[in-house]
Amino acid sequence: MADPKKQSVYYVVIVVTKYRSFEEAKAREPEAIATHIARSKQLHEKGSLLMGGVFLDDPSQGPLSTMAVLTSHDAAEDYLKEDPFMLKGMIAQHYIRKWANMFA
């Protein structure tokens, strides 16, 4: 795998969930969150997931959304395909966007 700091292109996964807020997701799906975090840590250690997290917006701005930055389109697709929230049907929309690294 190429050095991620030198990559000129990354793949950003943007997810819009069916939850109103992070608090709602934590209350309703603690096991799915734990599984999601453990899997994300494994992918990060492997080097395919560079960063990820949840947007902490005001719930009045729309449903809970997340994003992750991955090293390849295949890694982004695999990240989505096996995500516990995708498997539970709790993702309303998702996108994979090709993103240019201006520092590479």
Distance CA 15, CA 93 (A): 6
Q: What is the mean pLDDT of residues 17-45?
A: 95
Reported pTM = 0.89
What is the average pLDDT across 9-16? 97
Structure tokens at 23: 């608090």
pLDDT per position as a tens digit, 45-102:
999 999 999 998 777 888 999 999 999 999 999 999 999 999 999 999 999 999 999 8
Does residue 30 register a pLDDT over 70?
A: yes
Which string of DSSP letters, residue by residue, matches the chain? ---GGG-SEEEEEEEEES-S-HHHHHHH-HHHHHHHHHHHHHHHHHTSEEEEEE----GGG-S-EEEEEESSHHHHHHHHHT-HHHHTT-EEEEEEEEEE-TT-
Tokens of 43: 């992918």
